[in-house]
Amino acid sequence: MQATAIKFEHFQARQEADLQDRILAAKAKLGDRLVILGHHYQQEGVYRHADYTGDSLKLSRSAAASDAEFIVFLGVHFMAEVADILTRPDQTVILPDMAAGCSMADMANLSKVERCRRELSEHFDFDSTFTPVTYINSAADLKAFCGEHGGIVCTSSNATKIAEWAFAQREKILFFPDQHLGRWTGHKMNIPLDKMVVWDPDQPLGGLTKEQIDDARILLWKGHCSVHQMFRPQDILRFRNEYPDGKVIAHPECCFEVCNLSDDVGSTEYILKTVAASAPGTRWLVGTELNLVNRLAARMAPEGKVVKFMAAMVCECSTMARIDPQHLAWTLENLAEGNVVNRIQVSPQETEMAKLALDRMLQVS
């Protein structure tokens, strides 16, 4: 019989040192039954407890390859869903705070995407004209939509290869939810900017004419990352004026102008590897989430490398920051007592179709 769950309120007023001790004790009690996954954007108070760190897909694949019974994901909701899709039925995926979502993922929900498909189907044969491509930063039901309609999932590191596959299937791409990743991907493939039009889900026919859609190669969903949209071209110009020999690297979720002004553009893993491989004494301006940049700056300091956050203001991912020591301690102590809290379960039907889209991506990339 499951024991009575420990209430979260018991952890809210506890001191940081006490919380850290309780996390360590519960983790030790659970032993090999537990694996903690830590996304790069997590705050240090929980990130330090991760058994695996990285981007969302890498973490989910690490969990699936493990023998752990419990997978605690220090990330956001869509990441935990991917972990549940890829892990075995005997593994349980847990998100310490169910309010840890993703504003970008929320900008494209299934009802809006289905309405988009219906509106496009009035003028085109959707399933023979458009390959739907969803960024991994999306809900499981959108991944399932792509699986059902011959589409695929992409990440920030494989988007170009995925787009090449998508164009080999059909003449156009419907790309959601992040317009900036889609636009930068198309640009790298030498697709003119005017052949990539923005679909506004709150406007009839996306705010476009049939002629505009007919002429387009990619329909870009009107979505964005609330953190990466804060970076501006003037941030880069200011840095270059002060440090002419400095290097600029940005995440492809940044706007086109920022990516175009940067020396390099890539995923979180790519940013980490590129800066780590650079010469001692190099100075970098980095356009991605604050926790990652601060952690990278501390790691590079002994080599004389200076790593600077791109924006003048603080741009922490507020939903990522919801996973705090209080929630982690509460989650692990409940697990140690035999209580599963905040389990993430994708339905069997959605899992089947979403996994189809994810498997296509893994085969292509």
Q: What is the mean pLDDT of residues 309-325?
A: 80
The number of distinct structural domains making up the chain is 3
Average pLDDT for 330-346? 97
DSSP secondary structure code for residue 100 in this structure: -
**Do 155 and 120 fall within a single domain?**
yes
CB contact burial 291-330 (16+ within 10 A = b; e otherwise): bbbebbbeebeeeebebbbbbeeebebebbbbbbbbbbbb
Q: Which helix (H) or strand (E) holds 19?
A: helix 16-30
For the beta sheet containing 218-221, the strands, ordered from the edge strand earlier in sequence to the opposite edge, are: 152-154, 130-135, 172-176, 218-221, 196-199
Residues 141 and 96 in one domain: no
Task: Give the other-Cβ count within 10 Å of 1's Cβ.
Answer: 4
Reported residue count of the chain is 365
Please report, rounded to a whole number, the percentage of residues in the chain having pLDDT higher than 90.
91
Lowest mean pLDDT among 245-249, 290-294, 310-314: 310-314
| pLDDT over 70 percentage in the chain | 98
The per-residue pLDDT for range 111-123, each reduced to its tens digit, is 999 999 999 999 9
| Statement to judge: residues 50 and 147 lie in one domain | no
pLDDT at position 2: 59
Per-residue pLDDT reduced to its tens digit, 52-94 = 999 889 999 999 999 999 999 999 999 999 999 999 999 999 9
pLDDT band at 11 (very low <50, low <70, confident <90, very high): very high
In a shared domain, residues 236 and 305: yes
| Measured distance CA(36)–CA(19) in Å, rounded | 16
Model pLDDT, residue 365:
86
Q: What are phi and psi of 172, to 5 degrees?
A: -130, 160
Domain boundary, last residue among 189, 208, 225:
225
**Which of 25-29, 114-118, 226-230, 348-352 has the least mean pLDDT?**
226-230
Task: Please give the residue range of the domain that contains residue 118.
Answer: 105-225
Distance CA 166, CA 173 (A): 7
**End position of a domain, from candidates 225, 253, 273:** 225
pTM: 0.94
pLDDT at 315: 58
Gap between the terminal Cα atoms of the chain: 45
Give the model's pLDDT for residue 313.
Answer: 73
> Would residue 23 count as lying in a domain?
yes
Question: Using 50, 70 and 90 to split pLDDT, how confident is the model at 159?
Answer: very high
- At 1 the pLDDT is 42
User: Has residue 244 got a pLDDT over 70?
Assistant: yes
- In this prediction, residue 316 carries a pLDDT of 63
The pLDDT tens digits for 341-352 are: 999 999 999 999
According to DSSP, residue 343 is labeled: B
Query: Residue 50: which CATH number?
Result: 3.40.50.10800
In a domain, 361, yes or no: no
How do 152-154 and 92-94 pair as beta strands? unpaired
